Amino acid sequence: MKLGYNEIMITSKYFNDIKDFINLEIGVKRFQGNIERFHFNPIPLNEYSRKLFPNIETFHIYNEKDEIFNDGKIFKYVIWYPVDYLTYLFKKEQGNICKNIEYTEKDRKKYGTTIPSEIKSLREYSFKY
């Protein structure tokens, strides 16, 4: 069985860094252009690697320290690092998505003890009185 374009794209979503993408493009002629098929960044990007992903429309932010690009082609951000509920509400208003929402003591004091359904975890001491 041969891997097709769809299968290699699915597989390459799990690559660890840009070197893996480059090795695939250089090593297997049939899969040249794989990077260009991505409409999101499956790995954190820097200035160099951003140029290799020209068709990104949804930008994934994996860590607070990740470099963020706003080059006109990006329409939406997906935030994977933990954010508090207040930050989530602000990002949601901007049309962005947060995947790891924590409920904090500050959130509890502002929004009450009923935990919203979007919450994925409770920050330590969030219900300490």
Q: pTM of the prediction?
A: 0.89
Q: What share of the chain is helix, strand, coil (3-state, %, to 5)?
A: 35, 15, 50
Token look-up 């070197």 returns 19
> How many domains are there within the chain?
1
pLDDT digits (tens, 9 = 90+) for 81-115: 999 999 999 999 999 999 999 999 999 999 999 99
Q: Which of 103, 97, 95 is nearest to 120 (CA)?
A: 103
E strands, 1-129, in order = 58-61, 76-79, 83-84, 97-98, 101-103, 121-122
Question: Within a domain: residue 57?
Answer: no
Mean pLDDT of the chain: 94
Question: Within a domain: residue 127?
Answer: yes
Give the domain extent around 120: 82-129
The model's confidence at residue 127, banded by pLDDT at 50, 70 and 90, is confident
pLDDT digits (tens, 9 = 90+) for 11-24: 999 999 999 999 99
Q: Which of 91, 85, 73 is nearest to 110 (CA)?
A: 85
Question: Within a domain: residue 77?
Answer: no
Question: Within a domain: residue 115?
Answer: yes
Question: Within a domain: residue 20?
Answer: no
Residue with the larger pLDDT of the pair 33 and 1: 33
Helix axes 18-27, 5-12, angle to 10 degrees: 160
Question: Within a domain: residue 97?
Answer: yes
Q: Is 101 exposed, middle or buried (0-12, 13-18, 19+ CB in 10 A)?
A: buried
Question: Within a domain: residue 35?
Answer: no
